Structure 1
Amino acid sequence: MRSEAKYIVGACTLTGLITILVYSSEVNIADASNRIIPESIKSSVSDTKSQLWDIVSNFGGSTPGSSKPYIHQNLHPSNLTLVNLTNIKFPINRDICNVSEIGIVTIVHTAIDHQNLRSIIRDTWGNPKIPGVNTRLVFLTGTTEHDDQQARLLDESNTYHDIVQADFHDSYHNLSYKNVFGKMWTSQFCEQAEFIVKTDDDMFLDLYGIYHLSRNYLTTDIYKNGEFVFCPVWYGMPILRDKNNKWYVSEEELEGKDYPPYCTGWIYVTNPKTAGRLAEQATKSKFLWVDDAWVTGILVKALGFKHTNMMEWFVMQGERMVLFKSAQNPDIYHRDYIAAPNGNREIAEYLERHARWCYINQCDSNIYKTKLGQQTKKEKYNDELLERFILHNNGYNSP
């Protein structure tokens, strides 16, 4: 990821039509993030919304939800099974979910030596300022053979109180243990949370947008019955048999040609009841190290329910997310995203401010207003016009 983003978004009103132009410029994104949206776009919104922008720009905190204590007395139980590991131990565990009302708990898969990425998430999008809502941030990891790494991790945990560790070796081929560990931990130690958001430490998530979208599912049967997995879904993905491939799986490990539908591991949303069911099913199903395909594909299939697809809000290019977030506005419809790869602090700060501003001002997008495919002709025209300018003027091919 580049350390600089070279995007400026401008807007002008001409005979009642909004035309959006995107230019390349040598602008440090930290400077741009101080405004979130350019003055030219601010001038196109109503005075009331501009005043709201000024309020949100200076908004330094949030009004928390209920702070009634919710204490987990035993943080080191002796009877838990993680997949096929009995009596799993927690070298590090914290009562992170210690209040009675939690809107979102974000579970981040992290490597032990990724301290910088954890710092970026803590300081930017991982602790959103959603008025009236408690959120929690949890970094998951396994163990290391290096005493110095473990000592640094313990010091970090003692400082921030947001790391949980289980006693399986932290490695790529043990990601399925880490994945199920997150499900088990939340179902045991954050069972009062409304939603669980799972991601990796090299991502940016718009937790404001995710929180808003999640409201639609609280009263649904799939949520109540523990059948809720909301994610970008991969369909018809082949099981790779080339021994030189990173994701090689042998016939002995898994038979068949294709995986069942499964989630990208970069972002998915579930709830504690569903997480508990997946963790339990993992103790009954044949183990597979390809974690996303196993946990959100094979285990979901074994439990007999289907995913809710969020592909329209997911993008695989971080630069594209910066462009589209920059174009958001309460008065001009344009599509938006809630998840994209990112490991850059300045970009994370910039995107988090955009996300917060849009939550307060209810930007006219597929997150807060109109779903894709349900726009008016005018909204669709303006959306397509904006997208062509954004992509063309920043080196992308227009769709």
Structure 2
Amino acid sequence: MLKNVKHKTLMLGVNMVCITGFLFTLMNTQANQSYSETRKDRTLLSLTKRTINKSKSTQLAYTRNILMETSYPIVLTQPYKINNEGICRRVPKITCIVMVHTSLNHFERRRNIRKTFNSTYYNPNIIRVVFLLGLTNNSTLQTIIEYESLVHQDIVQGYFMDTYHNLTNKGVMGLKWITEHCRNAEFVAKIDDDVFINFYKIFESLKFIKEVKKYLACNRLEADTNPIQRGINDKWYVHRDVFKGFNFYPYTSCSGLAVFISIDLVPLLYKAALISPFFWVDDFYLFGMLPAKIHGVVHYEINANISFNHRRTFNCFSKYGDKCELLAGITDPDINPTKIRIW
């Protein structure tokens, strides 16, 4: 028994060293922080250490089994695990609130987005970012996420597992959160965390979206042209009993890489989710099924200005700079500095 106690104590010490090392690394990346912000980070580090010291109770909180595909509509009935409800309250009006679908361990991607979306670059336009996350069974990772939230105050986490098949839950949570906490935004952008957005061109080419109603500007997918994937090994596999008898998705929708939404449409989409059955393919659910329940929604086509090839994205901005025709484009997820190099 004594040997087991020593072993557990040793493992806890190793975990503490690893976590503390990560947190100090995270703090050191904030090179442009003021002295007061640095003191704030140190205070938060102290709080996080105290949280880690309660590791036994923290681990017990995440031992329950949670299904990979959560019963829907859990985000409509559950509170937030983490809710930074003040993201949009610091200014009377926000030009764009960007909701980012991100994975728990994508720390570097979130760091790069925070750098490139700094509102001072786009004055007088004001940008705010909210990162949408689900749960993890890893109590150490959860502690680090909570620390990141305390430092940056831009994370919202729901009570569903952060898995690929729960992206619909994540998207609906974003609609719910904006409806509740960010109605002072002029329009909304939904992106994935490997996407680069050219806000200079967006504020020029898509400024009309602040005035129109019920608008989605996106890579438009026409009804009855987007095939439903039925192969068991397909990335977006849909069982034959779902949309039975259909070979193509029956509604006009959007590719979810980058979608720009008029602010009036967000609460309408959220209300539509209250009466819509769960469907795990989030792009079609959020931007096809839900808009189909709302009269008069416009899917405005910007297909030519969206890049799904990271080489095209990089080459366009490298060669043409702010004259590049792209509004948004995917970047190489395996090369973390890509967004910064493009910027």
Given the two structures, how large is their TM-score scaled by the length of structure 1? Answer: 0.62
Deviation readout 1:158-183 (Å, 9 max, x if unpaired): 11111111111111111101011111
Specify the SS of the correspondent of 1:319: helix
Deviation readout 1:253-274 (Å, 9 max, x if unpaired): 2232211221111100003321
- Greater Cα shift, 278-287 or 244-253: 244-253
Cα offset for 1:351?
Answer: 2.2
Matches of 1:86 and 1:138, distance apart in 2: 18
Q: 1:234 aligns with which of 214, 221, 239?
A: 221
> In the alignment, which residue of structure 1 is the partner of 2:131?
139
Cα distance change, pair 244–325 in 1 and its aligned pair in 2 (3 A): closer
Task: For CA contacts below 8 A with separation 6 or more, give which structure has more relative contact order.
Answer: 1
Preserved contact between residue 205 and residue 338 of structure 1 (Cα < 8 Å): yes
Cα offset for 1:219?
Answer: 2.7
1:339 equivalenced with 2:328 (yes/no): yes
- Greater Cα shift, 204-213 or 188-197: 204-213
Cα distance change, pair 296–281 in 1 and its aligned pair in 2 (3 A): same
> In the alignment, which residue of structure 1 is the partner of 2:279?
288
Specify the SS of the correspondent of 2:186: strand
Preserved contact between residue 98 and residue 130 of structure 2 (Cα < 8 Å): yes
Cα offset for 1:115?
Answer: 1.0
Matches of 2:119 and 2:303, distance apart in 1: 24
Q: Which runs of 5+ in 1 are unaligned?
A: 1-59, 61-81, 353-399
1:268 equivalenced with 2:259 (yes/no): yes
Q: Which runs of 5+ in 2 are unaligned?
A: 1-31, 33-71
Preserved contact between residue 183 and residue 272 of structure 1 (Cα < 8 Å): no
Preserved contact between residue 138 and residue 162 of structure 1 (Cα < 8 Å): yes
Q: Percent identity?
A: 28
Cα distance change, pair 126–303 in 1 and its aligned pair in 2 (3 A): farther
1:258 equivalenced with 2:241 (yes/no): no
Preserved contact between residue 76 and residue 274 of structure 2 (Cα < 8 Å): no
Matches of 2:189 and 2:75, distance apart in 1: 25
> In the alignment, which residue of structure 2 is the partner of 1:297?
288
Cα distance change, pair 86–261 in 1 and its aligned pair in 2 (3 A): closer
Given the two structures, how large is their TM-score scaled by the length of structure 2? Answer: 0.72
Whichever residue aligns with residue 287 of structure 2, its letter is T
What pairs up with 1:28-177 in 2 under 5 angstroms?
Answer: 83=73, 85-94=75-84, 95-98=86-89, 99-125=91-117, 127=119, 129-177=121-169
Matches of 1:271 and 1:190, distance apart in 2: 13
Cα offset for 1:193?
Answer: 0.1
Q: Flag the structure with higher helix content.
A: 2
Cα offset for 1:85?
Answer: 4.6
Cα offset for 1:217?
Answer: 2.8
Cα offset for 1:335?
Answer: 5.3
1:189 equivalenced with 2:181 (yes/no): yes
Preserved contact between residue 313 and residue 330 of structure 2 (Cα < 8 Å): no
> In the alignment, which residue of structure 2 is the partner of 1:69?
none
Matches of 1:145 and 1:315, distance apart in 2: 35
Cα distance change, pair 85–154 in 1 and its aligned pair in 2 (3 A): closer
Whichever residue aligns with residue 159 of structure 1, its letter is V
Whichever residue aligns with residue 89 of structure 1, its letter is P
Matches of 1:329 and 1:167, distance apart in 2: 41
Deviation readout 1:371-394 (Å, 9 max, x if unpaired): xxxxxxxxxxxxxxxxxxxxxxxx
Count of matched residue pairs: 264
Matches of 2:189 and 2:306, distance apart in 1: 14
- Greater Cα shift, 124-133 or 242-251: 124-133
Matches of 1:101 and 1:161, distance apart in 2: 18
